[in-house]
Amino acid sequence: MRTAVRTFRYEKIPDWAHLRKRYKAFWNKQVLDSRPIVQIQNPNPSLPDPASWMLQPAELDYTQADRFFELKEWWKAQWNWHADLFQYMTLSAFGPLSFLAFCAAQPIFTPDTVWYEPVINSLDEADTVHFDQDSRYWRTFLELLEGFVEKCAGKQQIAIPVDGGPLDWIASTMGIEKLLLATLEQPEKVHKFAIRLANEYMEAYDIFCPILTARNDGVCNWMPVWSDRPFMSVQDDLAINISPQMYQDIFLPALRRIAGYTGRSVLHWHDGARQHVDWIAGSEEFDVVQWGHDPASPPFRSALPDMRKIQEAGKLLFISCVEACDVKFFIDNLDPRGLAMIVNTTSDEESKKLEDYIAQWTTERFNLVSLQRRFS
């Protein structure tokens, strides 16, 4: 007896049936339509004027579903999206370190994002930082999630709202300087703290993931990468401050534990922390590596050896943000199979032309590889 497959349609993603095939091909290291996954964006020349409160949002504007949804829609409206960049919504009401809000940390709401002040002075107080289902912010988060799911159902995708990052979590709870000192003086305690938070994060994930996916086709994360089944989204931006060996000894076991939890994962990493590329390439738990470009780093083209290392390790590679002038370079020098990129352009016209060029360049790339194999 065959099981019926649910068919999803989204008002804001009219070509969703085809887009989902393209993303499934990406996960299988295949190329459809003669081009890799390319998410193209350019500034919206007709950006609507914001309501006055949107310029200085307060805590209430982040924690009330209707209000925050309206704010997020205005933020999104600053860009026009093309090609594989589908309409989606991210519930980022508690910022990139959302999990901390459910662990006794106090979020600081700013006009652009949400951050956290340290809440402990030393590892002796680590036990006070733990996932609390009775937390006011956890209850608020679940209410927001229910509201966002309802608003997105049948209209657009909704993304994983909370990423995992043990180093970032601990650095934010005690301050980066105190954490760095603790990694030297008490590495075992830091390691245990990281493992405990990872386990508690997965406890939270098991609660919010079924809500997130109940009325959604698969799931995406904030980049966005879409998957037809649940996956973990992990990152650790502050790893830029420590050596690869120290990270592997203290934090990597916790990151791997989170990444391996569902059997599929995406790791977001910055090229400013490129010293870690060897263990990233060698870790089986990371299926997709999203290699982000730091503005302070050398030109993105210089990261090509790291990108190749990631692909040669058998991983899918997502690079961002790529300037339009660099797209052909990356198509010519990377394997388009299992490649995705976010590309910035200056106008709708340029974005649409670029999509056609990419198909042409990808075809030329495959033809060249075929010729090289024939005559090698």
- pTM across the whole model: 0.94
Q: Is residue 342 part of a domain?
A: yes
Q: Is residue 236 part of a domain?
A: yes
CA neighbours closer than 13 Å in the CB half-sphere of residue 26: 25
CATH of the domain at 319: 3.20.20.210
Residue 1 has pLDDT above 60, yes or no: no
Q: Is residue 11 part of a domain?
A: no
- pLDDT, tens only, 112-160: 889 999 999 999 999 999 999 999 999 999 999 999 999 999 999 999 9
Q: Is residue 308 part of a domain?
A: yes
For the chain, what percent of residues have pLDDT higher than 70? 97
Q: Which pLDDT score is estimated for 97?
A: 94
Q: Is residue 95 part of a domain?
A: yes
**What average pLDDT score do residues 42-50 get?**
94
Q: Which pLDDT score is estimated for 368?
A: 77
Q: Which pLDDT score is estimated for 337?
A: 96
For the chain, what percent of residues have pLDDT higher than 90? 91
Q: Is residue 259 part of a domain?
A: yes
The amino acid present at 204, given as its one-letter code, is A
Q: Which pLDDT score is estimated for 369?
A: 72
Residue 2: pLDDT band (50, 70, 90) is very low
Mean pLDDT of the chain: 94
**What average pLDDT score do residues 264-293 get?**
97
- pLDDT, tens only, 327-375: 999 999 999 999 999 999 999 999 999 999 999 999 999 997 775 666 6
Q: Are 224 and 160 in contact (CB under 8 A)?
A: no
**What average pLDDT score do residues 274-280 get?**
98
Q: Give the strand pairing for 114-116 and 107-109.
A: antiparallel
Q: Is the dihedral of CA 300, 306, 311, 314 positive or negative?
A: negative
Q: Which pLDDT score is estimated for 111?
A: 87
Q: Which pLDDT score is estimated for 373?
A: 66
Q: Is residue 1 part of a domain?
A: no
Q: Which pLDDT score is estimated for 4?
A: 43
- If DSSP states are collapsed to H, E and C, what string results for 286-348? CCEEEEECCCCCCCHHHHHHHHHHHHHCCCEEEEEEEEHHHHHHHHHHCCCCCEEEEEECCCH
Q: Which pLDDT score is estimated for 227?
A: 97
**Total domains in the fold of the chain:** 1
Q: Is residue 2 part of a domain?
A: no
Residue 68: domain span: 16-43+52-375
Q: Which pLDDT score is estimated for 376?
A: 61
Structure tokens at 153: 């159902």
Structure tokens at 358: 């990419």
Least confident span in 1-5, 43-47, 97-101, 133-137: 1-5
Q: Which pLDDT score is estimated for 94?
A: 95
